[in-house]
Structure 1
C-alpha cells in the first residue's frame, strides 16, 4: 500500500459519515436539497404549516446525510483504486462499500422512524414515493394493466418486491442507481410471472392492443 494513501484511506474507512459531537448544531442542508424536499412534502398537502416545515427539514437533512456518505464512499473507492496491490485494493473497496452500506442503513431506519412520528403510514409512503420518482405506484399500475387476471397472491408478491426495491432506491445516490434498484426487482418479478406460465412480451402487446381499441372507440 502506498504510504501516502494509508492515512487518508483509513479515515475514509473508519468515518464514512462523521458524527457530530454532542451539542453541535448540524449545518443547514444545501438550498437545492431544501427545494427538492419542499416539493416532495408539498405533494402531501399537509394542513399544518409547522408540520410541513418539520417534515421538509427531515427530508432535506436525510438527502444531505446520504450525500455525505456517497461522496465519502466514492472518494474512498477512488483512492483504493490507486493501490498497486490488487488484492489490497479489492479488500479496501469491499470494506468501504460495507461501511457505507451500514451507514446508509442506520440513516434509513432513523429517517423512517422520524417520519413515522410526524406522518401517517400512507403519508410516509408518499414521501418514499417522492424520493423515488413515483416508480412503485406507476410500475404496480402497469403490471395490473398488463395482466388484468393476476391473482391476489401475485399482486401481493409484486407489490412486496416493488416496496423492497423502493427501500433501497431511497438511499441511492443517483437517478440511474435508483432506477437500477427497481430494474433489479422487476427482473425478479418477471421471472416469477414467467414461472407461472405468463408470457410477458405477449402480455405487453395485448395491453397496447386494448389501449388502442379503447382509443379508437
Structure 2
C-alpha cells in the first residue's frame, strides 16, 4: 500500500470513530439513548477503576480521584477505538488489514499516553498494580503457578517466564474483552511452555507430581 492509500485509510478510520457513535444512535433510535448508554458504561468502568485504585493505598483523595479518572478514560478510549474498528470492518468493500493496522496505531497511542500520564501520578510499583488490576492479576497468579509447578527453575528461566508474562500484559491491557485478554496470556504461556519443554522440563509430569508434592509439604 502506498503512502497516499495509507493516508486515506487513516482518514477513513478517523471518520469511522465519529460515525460509530452516530451509527449506534441510529440503531437505538435517539441521541438520548446513546447518552444513557455512554453514561452507563462510564459508570461501570469508573467503578472498576475505583476497585483497582483501592488496592494502591493512595492517601491523597485528589490524587486518588485523578488516577480513577485516568483509568476510566482509558477504558472509554479503548472501547471507542474498538467500536470504530468493528464499524469500519462491517463496511462493504473495506480493507480489513488496513483497518486493523490503523486501529492498532490508535490503540498504541492511547496506551503510551495512558502509561506516561499514570507514571506521573504513581510509583512504578503502583503502575504495576494498575496493570495487574486491568488484567485480572494474571501475571502474579501465573508466575507463582509456574514456581509451584516447577520448583527447580533456574534464575534465567524465572526471568524468561516473567518477561513473557509482562509482555503479554501490555497487549492484554488494550484488549476489548475478557476472552481477548486471556487469549494474549494463552499465547505467551505457549511460548513459555515451549521454552521449558526445549530445556527438558516435562510440564505434564510436573502437573501429575504437584498433588503429591503438596501433600508431602502439608505433612511436614
Compute the TM-score of the two structures, normalised by the length of structure 2.
0.82
> 1: CA distance between counterparts of 2:180 and 2:153?
29
> 2: CA distance between counterparts of 1:160 and 1:69?
28
* Preserved contact between residue 49 and residue 68 of structure 2 (Cα < 8 Å): yes
Change (3 A) 1:13 1:213: same
2:194 alignment partner, one of 183, 191, 194: 191
Give unmatched runs, 5+ long, in structure 2.
1-8, 19-37
The residue number in structure 1 matching 2:57 is 45
Q: CA deviation at 1:10?
A: 8.1
The residue number in structure 2 matching 1:23 is none
Q: CA deviation at 1:16?
A: 5.5
Count of aligned positions: 192
> 2: CA distance between counterparts of 1:152 and 1:36?
35
The residue number in structure 1 matching 2:167 is 164
C-alpha RMSD of matched pairs (Å): 2.0
Matched ranges for 1:1-217 at <5 A: 12-15=12-15, 17=17, 30-79=42-91, 82-83=92-93, 89=94, 92-215=95-218
* Preserved contact between residue 17 and residue 83 of structure 2 (Cα < 8 Å): no
After superposing the two structures, state which structure 1 stretch, 179-188 or 198-207, moved more.
198-207
> 2: CA distance between counterparts of 1:35 and 1:186?
30
* Preserved contact between residue 78 and residue 107 of structure 2 (Cα < 8 Å): yes
Q: CA deviation at 1:76?
A: 1.3
> 1: CA distance between counterparts of 2:97 and 2:131?
28
Greater helix content: 2
Give unmatched runs, 5+ long, in structure 1.
1-8, 19-26, 84-88
Q: Deviations over 1:180-209 (max 9, x none)?
A: 000000000000000000001011111222
